[in-house]
Structure 1
Amino acid sequence: MNTPILLSATRPLLDAKRAWLERLETERGVSAETLEAYERDLRQFLAFLAGHHARPAGIADCADLKPADLRAFLAERRREGLGARSLGRVLSGVRSFVRHLEREGLASAAGVGAMRAPKVPKTLPRPLSVVDARAVTEEGGAMAAEPWIAARNVAVLTLLYGCGLRISEALGLPGDALADVSARSMRIRGKGDKERLVPLLPAVLAAAAHYRRLVPYALSPDAPLFRGARGGPLRPQIIQGEMARLRGLLGLPETATPHALRHSFATHLLAGGGDLRTIQDLLGHASLSTTQGYTAVDGSRLMQVYENAHPRARR
């Protein structure tokens, strides 16, 4: 990095940054996690400009950015270990900020608009097989020291696979969630504060009910449903660690992570005849292309669909 200086940006530029973040939150409904990442990326970019000019960055420094300026910044971040996907997010944030300045009549976005995002290598999700996914949800508590913690782990993992939840969504459920054993669906608030309706399988309700019976802490609506060993909110790292131990127990590959259960949910639904649009709604994706990246059906299944559905495949 360039030599750090005490102040990275002038007051007008910091005010513009604050207004941009507020607009992202109020008008576009950007999630808190994305806002935090954008704020951090822009802070580092302004520090880069300040180091480059040996003075606090001002609006004029952002008014007519050239692709070369952005390439130099991204090259520096790459040297620090950022991958292509993270670099793309960094560029997206800087581009959004400069366009905000352009709307305010303070800058031109031509330079950032001409800059292409780093190419992200395509990697297919690695869903578990049906047998392995079932084993994870059934043996999820095998490594736990206490019965209630075992029941908790099973309930969380069953939610990830049975409902396709993100781990943050499962751990963000309030204490009164899944209390009604006759419920057939529940509302989930996901990324971008978007709400969706998720069907509840009997296995999900049973796992949640078993956990609720054993948990030693009061489950109130204003506190989280899933608790850590000392009663605080359950952290994602705990479930990730439990999944790592399960990999060793069940002989699963390193790709068997909590998020892989969400991949498995989508892939197994599609393999069972579900349509992409419905799966998109269940996952809470804004774009169908994102859902396509979560699904992987083996070739034999595709050939079976083709032979059953295509008129010319029938003899």
Structure 2
Amino acid sequence: MSPQARDALADWLDAQAALNGAAANTISAYRADVTDFLAFMTQHHGDRQGLGPLSRITVSDMRAWMAATRGQGVSPRSLARKLSAVKSFYRWLAERHGFEPTAVLATRSPRFRKKLPRPLDEDAARAMIDTVQLQSAKDWVNTRDMAVLTLLYGCGLRISEALGLKGRDAPLGDVIRIVGKGGKERLVPILPAARSAVNAYLAACPHPQEDDGPLFRAVRGGALAPRAVQQAMARARMQLGLPATATPHALRHSFATHLLNAGGDLRAIQELLGHASLSTTQAYTAVDTARLMEVYANAHPKGGG
């Protein structure tokens, strides 16, 4: 890779982190994907790819890269992710250096069948939340894990969003402002069951709550890590005989699926989940029904307390 290309990649990654709020794992994936692409083009053309050669990438070059990548055993889904990163980089590069990126941007993503979420049924979701309370010798830890899972299932939060809550967010009100992927904010209604579960955890937690500190604490008082919640669920699902797909994220899928089954509106659920695109939410169902917010508390299986 030429110094110009290396510097351009570094600047683009910095922009993704600073302006778009991309997570560290996302930045690492972007770096690897675009570096692989640039390395291929260097080998393909027999010369290091500076900004000049990069601005002259052709449709034939793109086809050669995609064919070579697939030939390495990369799945269509992973190739689509790599192409998305390359397109994003090229869009940014073209705007900064004034060249035409059509050959790259017009490249079609490979088709693949999207994995449908595997939600738990209502009884399994309830059983998971009840059983996770029995996984630790410390009562307050059990109360904590129940509170986290109730937020995932009762409010549709991502695990990173639930564990990102701060001491200042407690006690939870009727609605909470969540900052999701890419710094996108949304308002999420808090069901009585979730509010009660968090209050019970706060009453039992031996560590003092600080406004700027994490709401959910690890055993030694630091921030609770996702891995600890995943392990508690793993133990609970083994006890219940549930499949390996019964993960924290499956509870978020269950939230959406059970609301839709109860008559929730697809676009309203899109807002609650923080999906940027309705097509992401449509993975849960092909049916768009009516009235979510007016029946929200009654429709959701955890709504009654």
Q: TM-score range by the shorter chain?
A: 0.7 to 0.9
Q: Secondary structure at the match of 2:228?
A: helix
Query: Which structure 2 residue ranges, 5 or more long, are not aligned?
Result: 288-305
Deviates more, 1:207-216 or 1:39-48: 39-48
- The letter for the 2-side match of 1:189 is V
Letter in 1 for 2:154: G
Q: Which whole-Å deviations, capped at 9, do the CAs of 1:220-268 have from their partners, x for residues lacking one?
A: 1212112222222222222222222111111112221111111110111
- Mapped pair 1:143 → 2:135: yes
Aligned to 1:156: 148
Q: Give the counterpart of 2:105 among 80, 99, 113.
A: 113
SS at match of 1:188: strand
Q: How far apart are the structure 2 equivalents of 1:79 and 1:140?
A: 44
- State how far apart, in whole Å, the 2-side matches of 1:69 and 1:148 are: 58
- The 8 Å contact of residues 174 and 225 in structure 1, kept in 2 or not, is answered as yes
Rounded Cα–Cα distance in structure 2 between residues aligned with 1:217 and 1:77: 51
Q: Residue 243 of structure 1: SS of its match in structure 2?
A: helix
% identity of equivalent residues: 50
Deviates more, 1:40-49 or 1:169-178: 40-49
Give the counterpart of 1:217 among 207, 219, 240.
207
Q: CA deviation at 1:187?
A: 0.7
Contact 1:99 1:108 in 2 (8 A): no
Q: Which runs of 5+ in 1 are unaligned?
A: 1-7, 298-315
Q: What residue in structure 1 maps to residue 126 of structure 2?
A: 134
1:284 matched to 2:274: yes
Give the residue type in structure 2 aligned to 1:20: W
1:249 counterpart (230, 239, 261): 239
User: How far apart, in 1, do the equivalents of 2:170 and 2:104 lie?
Assistant: 47
Partner residue, 1:300: none
Structure 1 residues 257, 64: CA separation in 2 closer, same or farther (over 3 Å shift)? Answer: same
Contact 1:188 1:195 in 2 (8 A): yes
What is the CA distance between 1:185 and its match in structure 2? 1.2
- How much does 1:158 deviate? 0.6
Amino acid at match of 1:241: Q
Residues 78, 216 of structure 1: alpha-carbon distance in 2 compared, 3 angstrom cutoff = farther
Tell whether 2:29 aligns with 1:37: yes
C-alpha displacement at 1:219, in angstroms?
2.0
Q: Specify the alignment match of 2:228 in structure 1.
A: 238
Contact kept in structure 2, 1:164 and 1:262, CA below 8 Å = yes
CA distance in 1, matches of 2:204, 2:181: 31
Q: 1:9 corresponds to which residue?
A: 2
Alpha-carbon separation, structure 2, partners of 1:80 and 1:179:
52
- Code of the aligned partner of 2:29: A
User: Which amino acid in structure 2 is aligned with residue 31 of structure 1?
Assistant: A
Cα deviation per residue 1:172-191 (whole Å; 9 max; x = unaligned)?
Answer: 111232325xx211110111
Matched, 1:59 2:51: yes
Number of matched residues? Answer: 286
TM-score by length of 2: 0.83
What CA distance in whole angstroms lies between the structure 1 residues aligned with 2:27 and 2:268? 29
Considering only aligned residues, what root-mean-square deviation do their CA atoms show, in Å? 2.5
TM-score, normalized by length of structure 1?
0.81
Letter in 2 for 1:290: T
Match of 1:3 in 2: none
